[in-house]
A and B are shown apart, each in its own frame.
Chain A
Amino acid sequence: MARAARKTSSSGSTTTRKRSTKTDASKAQMPSVEELTKYYRDMLLIRRFEEKAGQLYGMGLIGGFCHLYIGQEAVVVGMQAAIEPGDSVITAYRDHGHMLACGMESRGVMAELTGRIGGYSRGKGGSMHMFSREKDFFGGHGIVGAQVSIGNGLGFRHKYEGTDRVSLTYMGDGATNQGQVYESFNMAALWKLPTIFIIENNKYGMGTSQARAAAGTSLAERGHGYGIPGVQVDGMDVLAVKAAGEKAVAHCRAGKGPYILEIATYRYRGHSMSDPAKYRSKDEVTKMRQEHDPIDLLKKVMLEQGADEDALKKVDREIKDIITDAADFAQQSPEPDPAELYTDVLVEA
């Protein structure tokens, strides 16, 4: 399922001026309806998956922490459209969307959430810890900021091996205040590593707004002192994300070193399932959902481009079936055998 994204927009038409806060997707070449449908499908898959995960959590079938990606779907789908097989992807703990976008099976992801043997980590990782070498997805990390150093190491590896692959290293706005992020910026710039630092700015690090946690206003400029180019992108517009991603990828593939994308997005749900989200107003959430929903926005573009409404409905039904199947699988898959307790601690030489 790994996808070879065709380059459909020339990077030249995308604005990347600092403080020109949004890349203008409308100027980029419009992808075909077929491609748009794929983005729609991928975003809807994540949306419906997360809704179902929330439901299963509410039923007690999913335990512990469960951080939902609802509202942020355009970020990962747009970025995925800009890369090719062999490029690596890593993120923190709000990771279900990244896994699905990388082509990992919804069954395996959902079964990991329910802690079953059919999960990607055989039930031993949980929501925050899933991986797929096959899909070049390197986790799934629970310590804020740690994945940034590791993602930089994946960039190091690409360069060490002499390929032109790139490392997509995702973090939230909260992670940008961790020291190791700047240690990573420094080494990435110093050694020209092909690391794209993607800051998914959903405006809140758990319950603390960016304004209360971060000095300065632009996270895209946090790499300025290291000479790392950074742009702000509208993360509710999948085409804007794709266009910005393609520009960043081209920069890295050309050996010019790292790149920072600050992608403005919004999570509709709380930080985790047990977060009532009292730190922001209902109006704020409602306004984002009604006026900036990434799936609604793409759907509108698609209809303008001549997409068939019935075809979209068909996609909706397909997704619903996939999610129902994943949820069934995740409940039917057995718990890990007690012997699994002791496996995978060490690789036996």
Chain B
Amino acid sequence: MPTPILMPALSPTMTEGNLAKWHVKEGDTVSSGDVIAEIETDKATMEVEAVEEGTIGKIVVAEGTEGVAVNDVIAYLLEEGEDASAIPSDGAAPEAAPAPAADPAPSSTEAPANAPAGTSQTPTAPIAHAGGQVASVPDMDEDRFFKDTQRQTVREALRDAMAEEMRGDDKVFVMGEEVAEYQGAYKVTQGLLDEFGARRVIDTPITEHGFAGLAVGAAFGKLKPIVEFMTFNFAMQAIDQIINSAAKTLYMSGGQMGAQMVFRGPNGAASRVGAQHSQCYASWYAHCPGLKVIAPYSASDAKGLLKAAIRDPNPVIFLENEVLYGQSFDVPTDPDFVLPIGKAKIVRAGSDVTICAFSIMVGKALQAAEELAKEGIEAEVIDLRTIRPLDVETIVNSVKKTNRLVTAEEGWAFSGIGSELSALMMEHAFDYLDAPVVRVAGEDVPMPYAANLEKLALPQPENIFEAAKAVCYR
């Protein structure tokens, strides 16, 4: 049967074009790759090549014809032994190829008509679990681990978490700037080189993009890298590898190529280090499907969640805080103390207002709660611990009780975690709110250096205190 040659598309959006020129005439023999015609649109001219060998049996669309629809038959090619009599006379394509992506994707229009607006468009709970179900993380009795504890700094707890996981799994290694011989820019990796050697505790050059990408490759190869960024400010150099390579490849590969790895380091403001070293990246990473994002406050959470992060088969962003490194907490001694990712923690129970915070802001929220108590306001303070997947259930249940929410974060308010929490309350707890949600956040400026200005730029316990009073109309 003669092979129809169809009007090709130059781009996915092209619907028609001009047949500018024929390079062949009827009876010419062509082989695969020969240029047979030129077609043009308002944007470009392109050559049409023969895909198979044969003889041009008939030219259906004459040179110079304008407005030829994509997939119209423009000529017929005869194979060896065929002659022109086999060509259909009307020039119609014998059962033309399936129309080019003309069908609107049916799936997107099949949302149940009776579903409330919003539920079908935006999966409501879920952020982290793209399937649309609320993240159901099994409850865990954390308290039983606190029978035997030791007093540890956050720094020591993080180090122990890594050491314990490295002892149990040779595929786990840590790399970053100054992690080995210098013992860590903030001494988080202290002692690891001595115990595990240079093969597994690797000093890198100052080359964030390169070593983050290298670690992604190692993870594709089934190693389990822990990448330390000296601060998350420097991870901006590597964010393409974190998002485009680590977070998206599992999906792009249809589930074949996951990256089990942890990116960790201090995040947010330290003290007097200026704008380029003082930014909170929680909302940046929490925005992206394919990542988990953890930001612990206490040393016990730091340990239990870092161990969980190292064991998790997904890329995990682990946001630490330089100011917290030296603070001490009770930490369980049981090496099996591993916390579930995706569970918030009520760190202070209360009935009048819910305050959601993470990382260093948890401490400030607790301070504010003490002051509020003196005025007869009992605040419930929730440590989010995991930003993605977010424990929406715990927050909503609290707000159903207190009917008020204040969010607290160091990062900027615009498109921040507080903004996300506000939207979630609209979707899940609107009828329970007795006051608008108030966001306490960093001022909308790059971080200043001057001591007084820096203090003004960062959210303080007083700001949370005032916000809580305001939502209680006090």
Contact = CB atoms under 8 A, between A and B. Distances in A.
Contact of A125 (B33, B100, B214, B254): B254
Nearest to A180: B209
Contacts of B48: 58
Given A289-B33, A341-B107, A59 B218 contact: no
A21 B219 CA distance: 37
Contact of A344 (B110, B128, B212, B251): B251
B249 A151 contact: no
Given A63-B12, A179-B209, A184-B210, A153 B32 contact: no
B10 A153 contact: no
A255 interface: no
Contacts of B33: 47, 51, 70, 268, 289
A55 B12 contact: no
Nearest to A154: B217
Query: Which of B46, B110, B257 has the most CB atoms of chain A within a 10 A radius of its CB?
Result: B257
Interface of B, secondary structure class, is: loop
B99 interface: yes
A60 B211 contact: no
Query: Which of B45, B173, B219, B221 has the most CB atoms of chain A within a 10 A radius of its CB?
Result: B221
Given A125-B253, A149-B212, A184-B210, A349 B220 contact: no
Given A61-B100, A131-B256, A187 B8 contact: no
Contacts of B44: 274-276
Given A59-B8, A60-B99, A146-B241, A183 B220 contact: no
A345 B217 contact: no
A59 B71 contact: yes
B199 to A, nearest CB: 7
Nearest to A119: B254
A124 B252 contact: yes
B204 interface: yes
B312 A190 contact: no
A91 interface: no
B241 A121 contact: no
A292 to B, nearest CB: 14
Interface in A261-292: 268, 270, 273-276, 278, 289
A346 interface: yes
B436 interface: no
Interface string B280-294: 000000000110100
A273 B250 contact: no
A317 to B, nearest CB: 12
Contact of B254 (A63, A70, A124, A150): A124
Contacts of A343: 131, 255
A174 interface: no
A274 B199 contact: no
Contacts, number: 221
A346 B253 contact: no
Interface string A42-68: 000001100110110111110110000
Query: Which of A123, A130, A133, A180 has the most CB atoms of chain B within a 10 A radius of its CB?
Result: A180
A122 interface: yes
Given A55-B51, A60-B101, A133-B257, A157 B217 contact: yes
A155 B220 CA distance: 11
B12 A64 contact: yes
Given A61-B98, A160-B173, A338 B45 contact: no
B313 interface: yes
Given A61-B100, A342-B131, A124 B213 contact: no
B134 interface: no
Contact of B214 (A47, A129, A187, A274): A187
B12 A59 contact: no
B84 to A, nearest CB: 22
A47 B212 CA distance: 36
Contact of B98 (A183, A331, A341): A331
Interface in B185-241: 199, 204-205, 207, 209-223, 240-241
Given A138-B217, A153-B214, A58 B32 contact: no
A120 interface: yes
A139 B244 CA distance: 13
6 contacts: A59-B8, A140-B253, A150-B214, A156-B217, A342-B132, A344-B251
The 10 lowest CB-CB distance pairs between A and B, nearest first, are: A60-B100, A153-B217, A149-B213, A58-B8, A183-B210, A157-B221, A338-B107, A122-B254, A150-B217, A129-B252
